[in-house]
Amino acid sequence: MYYISNRPLLPESSVIDRKQNLVRQVYQILYESIISLWLKPGQPLREKEICEQLQISRTPVREAFLKLADEKLIVILDRSGTYVSRIKIEDVLESQFIRESMETATVRYAVRNWDTDLSEKLSLLLEQQKQCVKDDNRLRLHELDEMFHKTIVEFRFSSRIWKIINNAKAQMDRVRILAIPLPRTAAEIVEEHSRIYEALCSGNETQAVDAMSLHLNTVFTSLEQLLEKHHEYFEE
């Protein structure tokens, strides 16, 4: 039910550079394939097939599997094999709590240290997002959504903070990707970003935090629809 026979297990863009760390590359390819839902929740992961497509040995694949299992993105069972983990609502809620706690804190810091450089970067991202709305390019909008948040976080903090947030929000990201086709309009997402930006520009800390919190929680409004429409992707 999950495997599509007319396409490779991994995206055709998946390429390994043998001069770089193999485990890290295999992990990143699998991670992105899982988060983007190229690899569906519940889909089997065949070690041999991955090795053949990437033209590498089993060792880096196995090590990448262990890291992904530790992050609850795949399940490794001795008898049943390895498969992409189904989405647990408990993990989604935990993921959201961590992300909201950290991002609202970075918004507070951004308000207190606001400068023209950050303003220009966010303004440009908003213009690009508005163009995505006109082009009805939701996948690109998702990428720009990520960049908007990353830009705020990394305004004064190191990339390590975004990496922590990024790792914590993996389960939430699968839900967000799954929700892309739902009726909530792309324009609403951009409008939420605009409210965050306007609050930052005005120096209103409370308003900025509230706008960010509201934006991060809107995905829950579609969760019930997703559970009904894609029940096979969720763990009961």
Task: Determine the average pLDDT of the residues in 34-57.
Answer: 95
Tell whether 161 is covered by a domain: yes
Band (67; pLDDT cuts 50, 70, 90): very high
Q: Which residues have CB under 8 Å from 65's CB, separation 6+?
A: 30, 45, 47, 74, 76, 82
Cβ partners under 8 Å of residue 232, min gap 6: 1, 41, 42, 86
Q: What does the pLDDT average to over 60-64?
A: 97
pLDDT given for residue 5 in this prediction: 56
How many whole angstroms separate alpha carbon 51 and alpha carbon 113? 48
Query: Do residues 9 and 50 lie in contact, with contact meaning Cβ atoms separated by under 8 Å?
Result: yes
Q: What is the pLDDT of residues 128-172, one digit of tens each?
A: 999 999 998 888 888 999 999 999 999 988 899 999 999 889 989
Residues 109 and 70 in one domain: no
Q: Is the pLDDT of residue 1 over 80?
A: no
Same domain, 150 and 173: yes
pLDDT value at residue 184: 67
How much is the mean pLDDT over the chain? 91
Is residue 127 in some structural domain?
A: yes
Answer yes or no: do 131 and 148 share one domain: yes
Closest to 29 measured CA to CA, from 41, 5, 11 = 11
Do 66 and 173 lie in one domain? The reply is no
Question: What CATH code is carried by the domain that includes residue 34?
Answer: 1.10.10.10
Per the structure, the complete domain to which residue 75 belongs is given by: 22-84
Residue 58 pLDDT > 90, yes or no? yes
The 10s digit of each residue's pLDDT in 198-214 is 999 999 999 999 999 99
What's the average model confidence in pLDDT over 201-228?
92
pLDDT value at position 6?
67
For 82-137, what is each residue's pLDDT tens digit? 999 999 999 999 999 999 999 999 999 999 999 999 999 999 999 999 999 999 88
101 and 191 together in one domain? yes
Kindly tell me if the per-residue pLDDT of 2 is higher than 60.
no
**Using CA atoms, how far apart are residues 98 and 163, in angstroms rounded to an integer?**
12
Angle at 69 between CA 46 and CA 90, to 5 degrees: 120
Burial state string for 161-193 with b = 16 or more CB within 10 A and e = fewer than 16: bbeebbebbbbbbbbbbbbeeeeeebeebbebb
- Of 183 and 146, the structure prediction assigns the larger pLDDT to 146
Which residue bears the tokens 């590498």? 56
% pLDDT > 90, the chain: 71
Indicate whether 3 pLDDT > 60.
Answer: no
Q: Which amino acid is at 207?
A: Q
118 shares its domain with 227: yes
Question: Domain check: are 117 and 75 in the same one?
Answer: no
Split at pLDDT 50, 70, 90, the class of 176 is confident
Indicate if 77 and 140 belong to the same structural domain: no
Q: Indicate whether 16 belongs to any domain.
A: no
For residues 131 and 125, what is the distance between their CA atoms, to the nearest angstrom? 10
DSSP classification of residue 157: S
Q: How many domains does the chain have?
A: 2
pLDDT top residue among 166 and 222:
166
pLDDT value at residue 186: 82
* Domain co-membership, 115 together with 227: yes
- Residues 157, 202, single domain; the answer is yes
pLDDT score at 139: 80
3-state SS class at 83? strand
69 plus 98 within the same structural domain:
no
- Is 111 contained in some domain? yes
